[in-house]
Amino acid sequence: MESVQSIKQRFELIGNDVKLNRAIEKAIQVAPTDISVLVTGESGVGKEAIPKIIHSLSHRKHAKYIAVNCGAIPEGTIDSELFGHEKGAFTGATQTRSGYFEVADGGTIFLDEVGELPLTTQVRLLRVLENGEFLKVGSSQVQKTDVRIVAATNINMFEAIEKEKFREDLYYRLSTVEIHLPPLRDRREDIHLLFRKFASDFGQKYKMPTIRLEDDAVQLLLKYRWPGNIRQLRNIAEQISVLEENRNISAATLQSYFPESQGSNLPAVVGQTKKEGDFSNEREILYKVLFDMKGDLNDLKKLTLELLKHNDSSKVQKENENLIRKIYGNGQDEEEIDLEEDATTEVLRLPEPVMEAPVQAPAPIPQEDRYHFAEEIEEEETLSLQEKEIELIKKSLERNNGKRKAAAAELGISERTLYRKIKQYDL
């Protein structure tokens, strides 16, 4: 079994961090087996080196090694890329094609950004992991493959499982052994070492003197949080090597190459991106419908007030007809409107006068009662929507056991908006 130091030299891995050494040790130990490995860590920490180590130390080292970036393949074609397709399986499939699992039979497949796989593809992958079987797109013939799968992801898999974006059974199949690579900010002693290595490489590449950091620049280098990890460090070393004429780099010069938004040393929030819900358009339509309904209800209440205040039935009947046309649209004839099915208009429809038996007019409502009734309607108009909103928020929080995030998703609003409304209504 090869040592950690020899593996570092062979794959040009720089650093003496304990967590990095432990990750390499685990890769060396699992390499001779066929168990699946999941490599985790932030973007830019060098996760692609681990599957190469595992493949080179396994009994499959003479077979194919294929690296697949799952996040870079469109959802509509990823099944064809991984499992192949038959001729005529879809538009543009002019010939039969072998997928990566067929081509890499006997070898190793590295699935980078495996957390981006669509759910349908996850089901197919689970079948490969369980019994080595797969189906080409457009085929009913089961094929067998013998591949070693090493996957990598930079997302929080448990959050993805909770949001039903990743299958829990597939996660446990992939992570038989999990290897975590630490972020660069947790490898302080390795940062300057890596920078010097990159500076030396770029000096040779561009045939220029190697840049060197002054003491204050070294301290700044170590204090920076490096959200882009090793990839960001390498890019900055390359930029400085190409652009700076003075090969001794001060802290001020180095600071100018840091992104302004990332220049502080405050703790970075990693792996948590806040997104708006997927139903913003539907929410806008719903709001518009609710406001239109509120306007119609206001018109109905005004019509009711007119009926209480006046005895002019013809005037009220005319306003009633105008309101019906407004609700149902001007393009419809009155004959097409089924008033019998509309409870609201049925209440407002005035009875036809009966000549045989004159109907005694209802007793007039006292003036003070009319004003009291009008005040009640105005108050109800103001509070009804607010009360409904409070009721909906309470029920949603009860259904989700007080979890604001889940309740906000159910209501179609952001968690920040829900929190503001909870404070506003003192819920």
Q: Give the model's confidence band at 243: pLDDT under 50 very low, under 70 low, under 90 confident, else very high.
A: very high
Evaluate whether 133 touches 127 at the Cβ level (below 8 Å).
Answer: yes
Evaluate whether 26 touches 179 at the Cβ level (below 8 Å).
Answer: yes
Q: Give the model's confidence band at 327: pLDDT under 50 very low, under 70 low, under 90 confident, else very high.
A: low
Q: What is the per-residue pLDDT for 361?
A: 47
Report, as an integer, the average pLDDT of 172-191: 95
Q: Give the model's confidence band at 426: pLDDT under 50 very low, under 70 low, under 90 confident, else very high.
A: confident
Domains and CATH numbers, the chain: 4-182 (3.40.50.300), 187-262 (1.10.8.60), 298-349 (no CATH), 363-427 (1.10.10)
For residue 260, pLDDT over 60 is answered with yes
d(CA 397, CA 139): 47
Report, as an integer, the average pLDDT of 287-309: 73
Q: What is the per-residue pLDDT for 268?
A: 45
More confident residue, 296 or 156: 156
Evaluate whether 106 touches 65 at the Cβ level (below 8 Å).
Answer: no
- Among candidate residues 261, 263, 241, the one with its CA nearest the CA of residue 252: 263
For residue 319, pLDDT over 60 is answered with yes
For residue 269, pLDDT over 50 is answered with no
Phi/psi zone of residue 426: left (φ > 0), alpha (ψ -120 to 50 degrees), beta? left
pTM > 0.75: yes or no: no
Evaluate whether 199 touches 237 at the Cβ level (below 8 Å).
Answer: yes
Q: Which residues pair with 178 in a beta bridge?
A: 38
4-11 vs 18-30: helix crossing angle, rounded to 10: 90
pLDDT tens column, 330-388: 544 444 434 444 444 444 444 444 444 444 544 554 555 555 555 555 555 555 677 77
Strand bridging mode 142-144 / 133-135: antiparallel
Please measure the distance between the N-terminal and C-terminal CA atoms of the chain and give it in whole angstroms.
63
Lowest mean pLDDT segment, chosen from 178-192, 229-243, 261-275: 261-275
Q: What is the per-residue pLDDT for 263?
A: 43
Burial string for 107-138 (b: 16+ CB within 10 Å, else e) reads: bbbbbbbbbbbbeebbebbeebeeeeebbbbe
**What would you report as the CA-atom Rg of the chain, rounded to the nearest whole angstrom?**
35
Q: What is the per-residue pLDDT for 280?
A: 56
Q: Which residues pair with 108 in a beta bridge?
A: 65, 148
Report, as an integer, the average pLDDT of 384-394: 79
Q: Exposed, middle or buried, 156 (CB in 10 Å: 0-12/13-18/19+)?
A: middle
Q: Which residues contact 125 (CB under 8 A, 6 or more apart)?
A: 82, 111, 117, 170
The DSSP secondary-structure symbol of 85 reads B
Q: What is the per-residue pLDDT for 329?
A: 55
- Which DSSP helix (H) or strand (E) runs through 108? strand 108-112
For residue 210, pLDDT over 70 is answered with yes
Q: What is the per-residue pLDDT for 314?
A: 65
pLDDT tens column, 7-57: 999 999 999 999 999 999 999 999 999 999 999 999 999 999 999 999 999
Evaluate whether 129 touches 174 at the Cβ level (below 8 Å).
Answer: yes
- Among candidate residues 18, 20, 14, 47, the one with its CA nearest the CA of residue 193: 14
Report, as an integer, the average pLDDT of 255-266: 70
- Among candidate residues 384, 298, 312, the one with its CA nearest the CA of residue 350: 312
d(CA 202, CA 210): 8
Task: Give the mean pLDDT of the chain.
Answer: 82
Q: What is the per-residue pLDDT for 328?
A: 53
Burial string for 290-302 (b: 16+ CB within 10 Å, else e) reads: eeeeeeebeebee
Q: What is the per-residue pLDDT for 42?
A: 95
Q: What is the per-residue pLDDT for 295?
A: 75
Q: What is the per-residue pLDDT for 20?
A: 95
More confident residue, 214 or 372: 214
Evaluate whether 329 touches 272 at the Cβ level (below 8 Å).
Answer: no
For residue 128, pLDDT over 90 is answered with yes
The separation between CA 385 and the C-alpha centre of its own chain, rounded to angstroms, equals 31
Q: What is the per-residue pLDDT for 333?
A: 44
Lowest mean pLDDT segment, chosen from 137-146, 325-334, 395-404, 416-425: 325-334
Q: Which residues pair with 152 in a beta bridge?
A: 39
